[in-house]
Amino acid sequence: MENLVQEIERKFLVKEMPVLIAASSERVRQGYLTRDSDSTELRLREKGGTYYLTLKGGGSTVRTEREAEI
């Protein structure tokens, strides 16, 4: 199943890391492939034994993201 979304990506600098308290957690492994010529990224993510392939591209603030379970 493929999902198509638009992502607004913002980055912030913080003075120090906040204390994070989570009710539960899940291990996520991921890696990226990128090209210097544009802002396209390909991500492979494994979460809970399920794998996802995500293509991110276009623009620097608002980008299109396509994700498919593999």
Contacts (Cβ under 8 Å, ≥6 apart) of 60: 9, 39
CA distance 8 to 23: 27
Of the candidates 9, 30, 32, 66, the residue annotated as catalytic is: 32
- 52 assigned to active site: no
CA distance 64 to 7: 6
Active site residues: 32
